[in-house]
Each structure stands twice: as structure tokens, then as C-alpha cells.
Amino acid sequence: MHVVATAGHVDHGKSTLVRALTGMEPDRWAEERRRGMTIDLGFAWTALPTGDTIAFVDVPGHERFVPNMLAGVGPVPAALVVVAADEGWMPQSAEHLAALHALGVSHGLLVVTRADLADPGPATAQARAQLAATSLGAVESVAVSAVTGVGLPELRAALARLVGRLPAPQTDRPVRLWIDRAFTIRGSGTVVTGTLGAGGLRVGDELAVAATGEPVRVRGLHRLGVPASRVAAVARVAVNLRGVPRDRLGRGDALLTPGEFHHTDLLDVRLAGDPAGDLPATLTLHIGSAAVPARVRPLGGDTLRLRLARPLPLLTGDRALLRDPGRHHVCGGVTVLDVAPPPLTRRGAAAARAAVLADLDGRADLAGELRRRRLVRAGELRRMGVTGEVAPVAGDWLADPGHWQLLGVQLVEEVTAWAAAHPLEAGAPVEALRQRLGLPDRALVEALVRPPLTLRAGRIGTGGTGGLPEPVARAVDRVRREYAAHPFRAPEADRLAALGLGPREVGAAVRAGALLRLAENVVLLPDAADDAVRVLARLPQPFTLSAARQALDTTRRVAVPLLELLDRRGVTRRLPDDAREVTGAG
Ligand SMILES: Nc1nc2c(ncn2[C@@H]2O[C@H](COP(=O)(O)OP(=O)(O)O)[C@@H](O)[C@H]2O)c(=O)[nH]1
Ligand SMILES: [Mg+2]
């Protein structure tokens, strides 16, 4: 299916044309038919000669209803610009064209209607000249009369060529269905309609209501009035929703793939059109079917910061339109450059920001985004519309390579400073370092650890001495040399002190894993436990405490807690008669 919107001045024959092409009545309201004037959006569809289905979103031409017109064309990729042969180019011809241009609509046709009332030549020439200067450019034009039928076959053929040129829809994208109507059907409940521009929907899908975040489930789908179990973009769809009353939804809201969109009320944009300096302080931002008041702050050049009256699910690169509702004037199209911009606090921040934005064009630029944000979660970027592949530095954290390198250097400095300030601690706690470096996640600190830094038991040391403070490391070395011949003899407290290991130093060495504490004041070198198992395994099994003590060449003071430790580790087992055996485990 393809979807095309009409555009053009009131009474130029848009609805009549849609009626003639489809045999359907686009003016849905009794009031519209009584007054012969479109007020709200109309929907009709037909098959083209190629077999493709084309759906029309018929818009009102009257200046009072331009917001409705914008809600209709916002999500639609192509337009039929309608001009009456007998009236020619008129104010809303111009305003509608300005809107299409602002939204960057580049596919369309010019249809000169009421060709039975006047020579279509002058109106055609006039309109072509206007279109040529816009995003639509040089389009095909067809002169028609809905009364005589002249030109309608040519128009059908031109429509077939138009839809053939439309880009293939991105059906693998998340869904952002801008709602253009919401109503209740007796027995079914809430139904919303919209133009599905990308992605796909299935019955049973869970979606989120953009304005409230509420989860809703797709109970049923209609595609051009026919039930469907799934619908792929581009399509006009009606979605029957479970879990939400009708009054919770309306035009301008959207149904979203849950968790795939960043909601923002603050964004930086580039304005095409009038110079940014002359804008009123408040304008209306139109995107999709939404129209939201926006406070406008010119940043410099053609860039603006917008503060919206309510958050919207916006993506980097979105096209939107700023309009001055008071003056009935489309100020210009905006391209969304950043949906999560930094606050402007310091003097001169706006100008600095404008300089940054000067290099942006709304296209996904992952490397640039990382350079600007330094550190960001991959999911967060995806929700902002910034796609691309880069390996995370930790978890789903992405980092700018330069910034990451700098953080690595800073980490070494912080760890060194910590070691100087806390000479007896085996390294700095990861959490303290996270705070010093101002990082949002401890996993990042741990991922920054590179030799000579070492990570052990939640602490980062400067390496070299295995994370042990230098004097303590030297003292442990002395113990190692002195007890090499009797590895299971634990030094007495005064001997330790003489070697430079007071209670605090012993504690540091134990925390760093350089000494093994068996009991209060009983420490061995850390490999003693494994060595003991080897010795004990050579004894006849089971063995007594006394046999173990002799084999290990040590005292009860060491043997008792050492065997208890080995029991806890499961490498020895204590039998009911207090003898032990080596289990072979561990
Ligand atoms: N003679 C003639 N009248 C037309 C033609 N197309 C539309 N009209 C008339 O023009 C008026 C406005 O048409 P309508 O479709 O409502 O215009 P819209 O406001 O652009 O939707 C109606 O009275 C139509 O009957 C045409 O091709 N020939
Ligand atoms: Mg109409």
C-alpha cells in the first residue's frame, strides 16, 4: 500500500478528486457534507492500474484548519498538490506547499483541477514555478476535470509512476504510529487510526502510549477497512486497543514500540526558512500528527533550542515544522539535531553550542555522537535515533576512544594518589574511584583497569607488588625467605613486628592475599594451604591431628586451624573419631 496526502487551497477540488479516483466519500462528517467543505482529515483508497493500492489522506484547505492539514501530511511521504484551473495559485496553496517543503516532502504530483472551467495552462505554469523552488522540485503535472472525467486516466498512470518512485519502507524499524483519530466502536472498545510510516504491527503486540507510557495491547487491526493479523509499513491502519479507554488517547499522541524511543521536551534543531533571529518566542512545533507549543531560543546561525510544552518521542534526524498560529504562517522546517542536548548554563554556552551544531545535519553519526557525549549507553543512543555499530567498553556502555584513553590515565593517577594517602590499604575501592572519576557505573572503572593496575576484591592497586603497599610487600618477602624451610611454622607476633608487620600491616597483607590468616595472630604464606594438602595426601589415610602436625613440622597452634580451614575448603574430611582423610577434592 502507498499513502499520499492532498494539499491545496479550499474549494480547489481536492475532495472531489479523491471521490472521483476512489468512489469513496472522504468528507466523513455530516457538517462537512452540508457545508461542502472539508474540516478534518478524510480517508479513501483505490487500486492503481499496476495493482498497487493507494490510500489518500484528504486534507482541509481552509486556513482555519491548517493544523488538521498538518496532522494529515506529517506522517505521509508523498503529496498531491491540487490547484484549480480557474483560480490559480492562492494563499493556502502557498501555505500548504510551504508545509510540504518544511517537512521535506520530495515526492508528489501537481494536479490542476476544474480543467473544464478554464484553460489549465496558466495555473499549471504558475504552480510548477512555485513547486520548483521547494523540496518537491520538478514534479509531473496532470490537468483533470472531475466533472467530465478528462485527465483521470492520465492521473492514475501518473500516480502509479509516483508510487513506483517512493523509497521502500523500513519495515524493520520500531513503530511510531502517530494517531490521527481515536474513537470507540461498540463491542470493540478503543480504536485509533494513523499512517504507519515504518515498522509493522501484529495482533497481540504490546505498544506504549507516548503521552503516558501506558502499555496497551493490539486487540485487532484493520488495513483499509479489512481485518488483518499483521500490517507492514507503509499503510493506513486502524488499531483496536485493549487496556486503554478512548479518552486517554487522541490526535497528536502516538503508539510506540516499548522502550525504543527517547521522550524529550528539550531539543536542538536546524531551521530552514526565515533567519532564526526574527522568530517569535513561542511557536507551534508540528511533527507527525502532533502540534505542541514550543519556547524558541535562537542559539546562533540557523540553530534553535526548543522547549516543548510536553515531551514527544523524537529521533535525531526527524523533520518537523514550526508555525506561528497567530499569523497563519509556516516559519520553516526544522531538522532535529539533538534530542538530549546539554544544558546551557555558562555565559557563552549558546554560541558554543551553535558551533557544535554547525557540524550536524541530523544524520546518524555514531563517532561524532560519542565524541560529544563521551560516554553513553548503546540503548540510549538507539532510542535517540543514532544507529551504528561499535564495541562497548563495558556492559552496553559506548565510549569515545580518546576520552576512554584519558580516563585510563586519570585512573592511574587516582589509584597512585590513593596509595600515597592510604599506604596500608591494598588498593583503592572501585566505588571511591568511580566517584573521583565522575563515572556513572562501577563496571566502567573495572573495565579501565590495565596493567600495571590490578583489580582484586573490589579494590584497584598500582600493581608491581600485587596491590600491596611497598613496605608491607618487602616485609612479606622477608617472612618468605625466613620461613622457606619451615613453611608451616607461623611466626609469633613479636617476630612479625620485628620484620615490620604490625597488626595493621598484617591486615593489609591478608586483604591483599599476601598472607593467609588461620586464626588471630596465626598467619602463613598464602600457598601454605595447598602445600599442606600435598604433604597430608602422602600420609596413610585417615590420619590423626598428631600425625598431621608431625608431617607438617609444625605446632598445634597452626595445625588445628589449618586442618579446620582445609575441612572448610572440602579438601580434607573430619571423621567421627576425629581422624581425617584427604578427599582428593579441591
Ligand atoms: N466544474 C468542476 N467543478 C469541480 C471540479 N472539481 C471540484 N469541483 C467543485 O469545486 C467545489 C470544491 O470542491 P471540493 O472537492 O470540495 O474542494 P476542496 O475544498 O479542495 O476539497 C465543489 O463544488 C466541487 O463540485 C471539476 O473538476 N470541475
Ligand atoms: Mg475538501
Establish whether residue 93 lines the binding site of ligand 1, counting it when its CB lies within 6 angstroms of any ligand atom: no
Near ion ligand 2, which residues have CB within 5 Å? 14-15, 38
pLDDT at residue number 511: 78
Per-residue pLDDT of 553-567, as tens digits, reads 999 999 999 999 999
Q: Determine the residue type at 369.
A: E
Establish whether residue 147 lines the binding site of ligand 1, counting it when its CB lies within 6 angstroms of any ligand atom: yes
Identify which ligand lies nearest to the alpha carbon of 11: 1
Supply the angle between the helices 401-421 and 366-373 in degrees, to the nearest 10. 30
Identify which ligand lies nearest to the alpha carbon of 38: 2
Q: What is the mean pLDDT of the chain?
A: 91
By most ligand atoms within 8 Å of CB, the mutation choice from 6, 9, 10, 11 for ligand 1 is 11
- 3-state helix vs strand vs coil in the chain, percent to 5: 30, 30, 40
CA separation for the pair 51, 465 (Å, rounded): 77
Q: How far is the CA of 150 from the centre of ligand 1 (A)?
A: 14
Under-70 pLDDT residues of the chain: 274-277, 463-467, 585-586
pLDDT at residue number 378: 92
Q: Determine the residue type at 371.
A: R
Establish whether residue 414 lines the binding site of ligand 1, counting it when its CB lies within 6 angstroms of any ligand atom: no
pLDDT at residue number 585: 62
Q: How far is the CA of 74 from the centre of ligand 1 (A)?
A: 24
Could you tell me the three cell numbers for 212? Answer: 503516558
Q: How far is the CA of 42 from the centre of ligand 2 (A)?
A: 8
Establish whether residue 116 lines the binding site of ligand 1, counting it when its CB lies within 6 angstroms of any ligand atom: yes
Q: List CB contacts of 113: < 8 A, sequence separation 6 or more.
A: 12, 13, 14, 16, 17, 82, 83, 84, 85, 144, 145, 146
pLDDT at residue number 467: 58
CA separation for the pair 530, 532 (Å, rounded): 5
Q: Nearest C-alpha to atom 5 of ligand 1 is from which residue?
A: 114
Preceding peptide of 390 cis, ω within 30°: no
Q: Nearest C-alpha to atom 13 of ligand 1 is from which residue?
A: 13
Whose CA is closest to 333, among 322, 343, 346? 322
Q: Which atom of ligand 1 is nearest to the CA of 145?
A: 27
Contact 546, 556 (CB under 8 A): no
Q: Which atom of ligand 1 is nearest to the CA of 146?
A: 27
pLDDT at residue number 275: 60
Q: Nearest C-alpha to atom 28 of ligand 1 is from which residue?
A: 114
Q: Which atom of ligand 1 is nearest to the CA of 82?
A: 20
pLDDT at residue number 357: 93
Establish whether residue 365 lines the binding site of ligand 1, counting it when its CB lies within 6 angstroms of any ligand atom: no
Q: How far is the CA of 245 from the centre of ligand 2 (A)?
A: 31
Establish whether residue 6 lines the binding site of ligand 1, counting it when its CB lies within 6 angstroms of any ligand atom: no
Strand partners, 223: 226, 237
Q: How far is the CA of 78 from the centre of ligand 2 (A)?
A: 18
The pTM of the whole model exceeds 0.75 = yes
Q: How far is the CA of 13 from the centre of ligand 1 (A)?
A: 4
CB atoms closer than 10 angstroms to residue 116: 17
